Structure 1
């Protein structure tokens, strides 16, 4: 009976392994681009505070910069990828065990 479950789990393991690898690559590339964009948005926010005297626009750009920084949306994406990798590891242990 376990052999049947293991044979059903093998395609999921293969797809999940490929998915995690692709997501890690995309996460690295997107993380670099989002960090660069976050820095630009932070500079725009400082410009709005100092040069234009528009605190509402500055705060809005700072919030956007935080969401694009490594502590915002990329942290959530990293958590999801880590959970998928944990599921992948569990399936590997089930199949080899």
Structure 2
């Protein structure tokens, strides 16, 4: 009975493995692009503070934080970890 379940779940396990590999690749590229955008936001925030435009500087700093590796890319990493957890649970059956 257990081997029938393994045969049924094999395509799902294969799909999850391919999906996590592809999403990990995209996360690496996306994190690099977002890192450069974060640097531009930080430079713009510093320029805004020098021009005495405090509200625009704070907005740029918040946007820079969201684009940093602790913002949006961390959500992607959590999704990938969740999918890997599901895949490992299927493999343990």
Unaligned runs of 5+ in 2: none
Partners of 1:36 and 1:27 in 2: how far apart? Answer: 14
* Aligned-residue CA RMSD (Å): 1.1
Which TM-score applies when normalising by structure 2? 0.93
Partners of 1:35 and 1:93 in 2: how far apart? Answer: 37
Q: Which residue of the partner structure matches residue 77 of structure 2?
A: 78
Q: Deviations over 1:2-37 (max 9, x none)?
A: 333222211110110000000000000111111111
Q: How many correspondences in the alignment?
A: 93
Q: Which residue of the partner structure matches residue 33 of structure 2?
A: 33
Partners of 1:2 and 1:59 in 2: how far apart? Answer: 57
Partners of 1:93 and 1:28 in 2: how far apart? Answer: 28
Which TM-score applies when normalising by structure 1? 0.89
Unaligned runs of 5+ in 1: none
Q: In the TM superposition, what are the counterparts of 1:56-95 in structure 2 within 5 Å?
A: 56-94=55-93
